[in-house]
Amino acid sequence: MGPFTISLILISITAVLLVWRYLQNNFTYWRKRGVPYVPFWESFLLSSTAMKKINIFEFFEVFYKALDGHRFGGAFQLVYPIIIIRDPELIKTVFIKAFSNFYDRNPPQDEKGDVFNRTQIFQLTGEKWRTVRHKLSPAFSSAKLKIMYQTLSGCAEDLNAHLQTLCSETGQTEIDVKELMSDYTMDVIGAIALGIKCNSIKGENSEFKQIVRATFKFDQRRTIFATLEVIHPKLPRLLGLTSQLPEEEEYLLGITREAIEMRTDSESSSRRDFLQMLMNLRSQELQQRNENPSGEPDEPVFSEDILVGAIGSFLSAGLEPVAATLTFCLYELALHPDIQEKIYLEIKETKGQTLNDISYEDLKKLRYTEQVMNETLRKYPVAGIMARICTEPFKIPDSDVVVEKGMRVFVPLFSIQRDPQYFPEPDRFDPERFSEENIQKIVPGTYLPFGDGPRSCIGKTLNSSSPSSFLLLLLHLLLLLFLSLFSLLLPLLYW
């Protein structure tokens, strides 16, 4: 055996020992700190079967149940220790009081990664996130969204016409509600975000629809991408994997840039979509800079990246959550005709006999319909797992445990919102949980469909007594849908 072979063997043995030591350190991480935990092998076996047999919410449900009786506990994601927070008060602490220790959701993104992935607010970290969120928040206020909702009536008319055709011409009584809600949401989000008429309800399979659906679908390639990202944010790119196919990214960037260019003329300032809101904010900012050059703000003016990221956020965060929530809501209503009737009567009472032209202000009067939407978001939270990264070491109150910088923190919201301790008979769909007298009984930190604290959903209203602007969006969409359905079906039942 030559010296080269001997060196190679020694290097290999050293590498194996170092890896083994690293893994040993990780596997014994929680035991050494005296924290209750789900052992590595259980977490590992679970995650390998999880990919096929159970969804991610159910996967975390196993952790949640295994840590029953504890405020928090450890588990593993791949080979990395993670912490699961179960206690509502501790959740509020992490999201709000100790926000400066937990302000990121992911490690910093790969600066050379795909534009749509790295510019979305959801993914941004540190100062960059703070600047972008601060800039974009005004565009998501209830007042601004109210202006955008005026573009919705066109989508509702298409929906109405589509349902009329289905029922009267073909006599069809079965509708694929999930597909219908996806098309409806695509039309709505396309109109609100970019002022694009997608005509999905009318059956057009536009390029926009195909590409947007493909881009934001969580398929096998994206699962691999996300898994590699957990190991290191740069790893997918080093292995030649992108979260979007280059042609998808090119198309989306192209239409966003084109739309931005088209909006630079003064005529377009009367448009009522989200992109126009952003363009108006950008003009205001530029004007302020011109008028007061010495007091120039430190933060950059809305760059193209910020605009692209904002549109990307609207498409990715807007489509699936809204379509899924509406679908689950209709599913529960199909099972509960009594609840349907109550909604119908409430709408009728609000508007008298006509059932037409319900205004944005009327939405806030629909207390029972809002309860139904809240109960849908309890039983079917779209973000059933919420994540944070520890950005500064944090000592968990009333314990000796210190969460170290870089540790991933998970809140299994799906399990908490279905825990009988907080919501008795959790599988029962019961909008009365959110009635005026019962809502006070909900333990703070156990019902968070829009997240909590400065990093919560950008459409969540911080004032807890008024509904989130996206809850109002959901109500609006549901209402328009009901008006279509009622105008077709309910006269037969109730008039």
We find the least distance from the C-beta atom of residue 217 to ligand HEM, in angstroms, to be 17
Rounded CA gap, 291 and 271, in Å? Answer: 25
**Residue nearest to ligand HEM as judged by C-beta position:** 451
For ligand HEM, the closer CB: 22 or 218:
218
Q: With respect to ligand HEM, which residue has the nearer C-beta, 30 or 450?
A: 450
Question: Of 42 and 87, which CB lies nearer to ligand HEM in the complex structure?
Answer: 87
Alpha-carbon distance 202 to 210, whole Å?
15
Nearest to 187 by CA among 170, 175, 204, 163: 204
The CB-of-374 to ligand HEM minimum distance in angstroms stands at: 11
If the CB atoms of residues 160 and 325 are measured against ligand HEM, the closer one turns out to be: 325
Asked if residue 457 belongs to a known ligand binding site, the reply is: yes
Three-state secondary structure call for residue 125 = coil
- Residue in the block written with tokens 């509020």: 92
Least spacing, CB of residue 458 vs ligand HEM, in Å: 4
Q: From CA 206, how far away is CA 200, in angstroms rounded?
A: 7
Q: Report d(CA 61, CA 495) in Å as an integer.
A: 46
Pick the closest to residue 95 from 420, 462, 406, 404 (CA basis): 462
- On whether the CB atoms of residues 418 and 377 are closer than 8 A, the answer is no
Closest contact distance (angstroms) between CB of 36 and ligand HEM is: 25
Q: What does each C-alpha distance from 80 to 8, 25, 444, 487 come to in angstroms? A: 29, 10, 30, 55
Collapsed DSSP state (helix, strand, coil) of residue 78: coil
The least CB distance from residue 104 to ligand HEM, in Å, is 9
Q: Which of 389, 447, 368 is nearest to 414 (CA)?
A: 447
Kindly tell me which of 88 and 490 has the beta carbon lying closer to ligand HEM: 88
Phi, psi of 72 (to 5 degrees): -155, 170
How far is residue 423's CA from residue 429's CA, in Å, rounded to a whole number? 11
Nearer to ligand HEM, 104 or 158 (CB): 104
Least Å distance between CB 363 and ligand HEM? 15
Residues within the interface to ligand HEM (CB under 6 A): 121-122, 133, 313-314, 317-318, 321-322, 325, 377, 382-383, 386, 449-452, 455-459, 470, 474
Binding residues, as ranges, are: 457
Annotated binding site for heme: 457
